[in-house]
Amino acid sequence: MIPLITYLFQKAVENPLIDDDLVLIIGEITSATKTIAGKVRKAALLDILGSAEKVNVQGEVVQKLDELANSIITDTLKCTGKACMLASEEVEDCLILSDTGYSIAFDPLDGSSNIDVNVSIGTIFSIHKGDIKKPGKEQIAAGYVIYGPSTMLVLALPGFVSVFILDPESGNFILVEDNFKMPEKGKIYSINEANYNKWVDDGLRKFIDSLKEEKYTLRYVGSMVADVHRTLFKGGIFIYPADVKNRNGKLRLLYEASPMAFIIENAGGLATTGEKPILEVVPEKLHQRVPVILGSKYEVGKCIEYLKNG
């Protein structure tokens, strides 16, 4: 039974990138997610379901729980004294706290449309040293917490991915998988297929048609955390492509695409925009969007071939 913080200090012995400040930041983010998990579980009783009757910088309806999760994480990270910049899906501008330290980009509660119907949602985070607007390959750590039947943390540090389950009795995230590797091939694809006629790439339509011929099955929750989590454990492919309405897809680079790409690639999978690896994309804007294609090497490789051939 190895708790998260003990595990991080063990890893720090052989990895100089894992310094005390980073352990503190990861410890505090994950501790904020325990508070969020408690609120998510009791949301209907606390009267915190439903919309906050505002739209965020992305033009999306903000849920009460989005706002609450955002302030829980922001307040927790401010208190560490080690965070220099915070960027949240729910806030238009980057919050500058100091000149040096770690910058953290986060989606406090991803999958908002699923909150009211008790379907898995999650928190995603990405950690850089210094400036926040750096390509994903320079992340020091990235992770997500999924609020499902159990609360799980999937954490990637350069070179490895580890998985933890929140033990409700001790309140600790306990290690369940060290150096996790995802399947090289799967049987599931995950995409909002209702947009089939709106996708900009014919190659993508042909790729999805080919998966059907090969008897793949479709699973789509509509919570990125849940769809990526299943893809990571079962293999296959998750796609949020460009469409005629959203020319860069829907998902945001800094706190959705980039951390998930870092996790998937450190677990042995691939993540691409269709044109280049997601981890190579240099951010231009805080809330910029990118097409996302990620998952097992086999399916992502095939998808790239189809996109090239149109």
Residue 299 binds to Mg ion (criterion: CB under 5 A): no
**Binding residue per annotation — 111?**
yes
At 250, list the tokens.
Answer: 């829907």
Segment near ligand AHM (CB under 6 A), from 75-83, 94-102, 110-118, 129-137? 110-118
Residues 111-130 that bind ligand AHM (CB under 6 A): 111-112
Segment near ligand AHM (CB under 6 A), from 76-84, 108-116, 159-167, 179-187? 108-116
Segment near ligand AHM (CB under 6 A), from 33-41, 164-172, 217-225, 229-237? 217-225
CA–CA separation, 121 vs 223, rounded Å? 6
DSSP codes joined into one string, 94-143:
PEE--SSSEEEEEEEEE-GGGGGGT--EEEEEEEEES-S-S-GGG-SEEE
Residue 227 binds to Mg ion (criterion: CB under 5 A): no
Residue with Cβ nearer ligand AHM (74 or 223): 223
CA–CA separation, 127 vs 83, rounded Å? 10
CA–CA separation, 2 vs 221, rounded Å? 31
Report residue 306 CA to chain centroid gap. 26
CA–CA separation, 72 vs 70, rounded Å? 6
Residue 90 binds to ligand AHM (criterion: CB under 6 A): no
Among 110, 243, 265, 299, binds ligand AHM (CB under 6 A): 110
At 284, list the tokens.
Answer: 């231009």
Residue with Cβ nearer Mg ion (107 or 265): 107
Residue 223 binds to ligand AHM (criterion: CB under 6 A): yes
**Binding residue per annotation — 110?**
yes
Residues within the interface to Mg ion (CB under 5 A)? 107, 110
